[in-house]
Structure 1
């Protein structure tokens, strides 16, 4: 496909330069000739030579620009393919963390370790996103999906950490009096609401992840 686009650009350039050459030839011959007299072949040759010279003068830099631009786009496309594949790998590695239930984190030390691993993957994802070039609609759409995934990752962490803290508060409430039961009930409602939000995060993450694909050249 990239080869076809380059061929199209070259063909279009040849067409316009050919048209320029022909136009210059016709107009130059008309302006230099005395149309009331027989045609002078020397004038035609002179104009023809000038038109070819001008065409060649423009052809070299235009061809160089086309080839350089095509090389740059091709290089960016190859990088996009490599980096998008790595992004998908990181997204797959993040999934078990997104799917982690808050009760699996038993204490503050485990939470700290989990957070380090979670955000190590998150920042690796962010770093790789910066390497994607917005060179075409496909790449732009990929970046939009990744941006949504980024939002879900942060929201999921907020839910997980919130659930962990709420569960600690729930467990810390003493038993045996009406006030404690009311407080535990309040924490229980908040935990249920946070669990629903976290489930939505997982669902949204999976939905976005399934729509992501490698940016093949």
Structure 2
């Protein structure tokens, strides 16, 4: 909670403690007084004892109440900091994934007529490494849901990761066709390989068009978790 909320809660506790103290004195006054009250002298000793007991009881209630509020505030603050760190880490990782994917798919898009398998295998290894990172981050997002009341950021991040993963799936599929048919090329296999390339390249173009808007939405939803 922010400082205003914390101050408000502490003020409410103070008001309840003061009310208890006031009514304790009122009740003690009537119980310890002799009647008729207006005919009796003021008893300083009993007044002092009533004040002392009232203050002591109020302190007993005040200390744990304030401690509970501060503990709740600490938990909320700790959760807010943890969520902010997770959000920032997710943003950093998605941007890094974006750069890696742009690099590998851009290079792979020029391999339409590549017949040398050795030139394709490094791309395959990089794609598998990136896919592993994506799956790990998706698993982390699932754990993050327990600490987030608003899932907009997690859903936006998951959407981007899914699109990144499927783009790499089509890229990997193209490499698979290239590896399968590079030794026995004919009209039919050439068509299959070219179709797999078209699927990959179309997916790449679609992702390229959508990625800026997706990242913009992700950054907007991340603002909620930045501590000011």
TM-score of the aligned structures, taking structure 2 as reference length: 0.66
Matched position secondary structure for 1:207: helix
Map of 1:109 onto structure 2: 121
Matched position secondary structure for 1:6: helix
Checking the alignment, whether the CA contact within 8 Å between 1:84 and 1:132 is kept in structure 2 is no
Map of 1:9 onto structure 2: 9
CA displacement at 1:71 relative to structure 2? 2.5
Map of 2:80 onto structure 1: 77
CA displacement at 1:104 relative to structure 2? 4.8
CA displacement at 1:110 relative to structure 2? 1.4
Map of 1:174 onto structure 2: 186
CA displacement at 1:133 relative to structure 2? 8.3
Checking the alignment, whether the CA contact within 8 Å between 1:98 and 1:202 is kept in structure 2 is no
Matched position secondary structure for 1:14: helix
| Alpha-carbon spacing, 1:150–1:24, altered in 2? closer, same or farther (3 Å) | farther
Question: 103-112 or 85-94: which moved more?
Answer: 103-112
Checking the alignment, whether the CA contact within 8 Å between 2:170 and 2:196 is kept in structure 1 is no
| Alpha-carbon spacing, 1:50–1:184, altered in 2? closer, same or farther (3 Å) | same
Map of 2:165 onto structure 1: 154
For residues 66-103 of structure 1, give each alpha carbon's deviation from its aligned partner in whole angstroms, at most 9, with x where no partner exists.
Answer: 22222233233334434433322222111133332443
Checking the alignment, whether the CA contact within 8 Å between 1:156 and 1:198 is kept in structure 2 is yes
Task: Output the CA distance in 2 between the equivalents of 1:22 and 1:133.
Answer: 47
Map of 2:89 onto structure 1: 86
Checking the alignment, whether the CA contact within 8 Å between 1:80 and 1:131 is kept in structure 2 is no
Task: Output the CA distance in 2 between the equivalents of 1:85 and 1:123.
Answer: 18
Checking the alignment, whether the CA contact within 8 Å between 2:163 and 2:207 is kept in structure 1 is yes
TM-score of the aligned structures, taking structure 1 as reference length: 0.69
Matched position secondary structure for 2:37: coil
Pairing 1:97–2:100 present: yes
| Alpha-carbon spacing, 1:49–1:188, altered in 2? closer, same or farther (3 Å) | same
Match of 2:58 among 55, 59, 75: 55
Checking the alignment, whether the CA contact within 8 Å between 1:173 and 1:184 is kept in structure 2 is yes
Task: Output the CA distance in 1 between the equivalents of 2:193 and 2:6.
Answer: 64
Checking the alignment, whether the CA contact within 8 Å between 2:17 and 2:58 is kept in structure 1 is yes
Checking the alignment, whether the CA contact within 8 Å between 2:109 and 2:201 is kept in structure 1 is no
Checking the alignment, whether the CA contact within 8 Å between 2:141 and 2:158 is kept in structure 1 is no
Checking the alignment, whether the CA contact within 8 Å between 1:21 and 1:51 is kept in structure 2 is yes
Question: 124-133 or 197-206: which moved more?
Answer: 124-133
| Residue-pair matches, total | 209
